[in-house]
Amino acid sequence: MVKRYVAAALSLSLAALVTACSSSASQEEQMEYLHKMAQRGAELHAVKKGSQGHGTPGDREECYGAYEHLYDGPNGHDAPHVGTDVERVALLKEGEELFIESCVNGTPSPVPARGGSASPSA
């Protein structure tokens, strides 16, 4: 059961790995990554629900374990490159939380607006 959803999630992340190896990501690319992490968490929930044969909600610890297995915790290589290590860790942690919450709830969690120069003007 675990192998099936791990394989599904791994195949989803291969495309992101190819695009993640470029120069520093824009705010838009970072937001896209966060949306993908939320979507992947929800997809994992659906796979788990289908393989278990019943509609139990996701378990936070199981979702966290799946995240660590798939993305190697805070050292994951699925995120786009950002300027500093502090920014990278913050982006990875945000992606982790979105993945886990989406995995638990079964729907992609909303991605909060990120600070920076990409804020709308009045």
* Predicted pLDDT of residue 1: 52
pLDDT in tens, 46-55: 888 777 655 4
Band of residue 10 on the pLDDT scale cut at 50, 70, 90: very low
In this prediction, residues 108-119 reach a mean pLDDT of 71
CA dist 31 and 25 (Å) reads 10
* Predicted pLDDT of residue 76: 66
Q: Is the dihedral of CA 95, 97, 103, 107 positive or negative?
A: negative
* Cβ-based neighbours of 92, under 8 Å, separated by 6 or more: 71, 74, 75, 76, 79
Give the pTM: 0.70
Instruction: Give the relative orientation of helices 60-71 and 85-105 as an angle to the nearest 10 degrees.
Output: 140
- Residues, the chain: 122
> Of 18, 23, 20, whose CA–CA distance to 95 is shortest?
20
pLDDT in tens, 14-47: 434 444 444 688 999 999 999 999 999 999 998 8
CA dist 59 and 65 (Å) reads 10
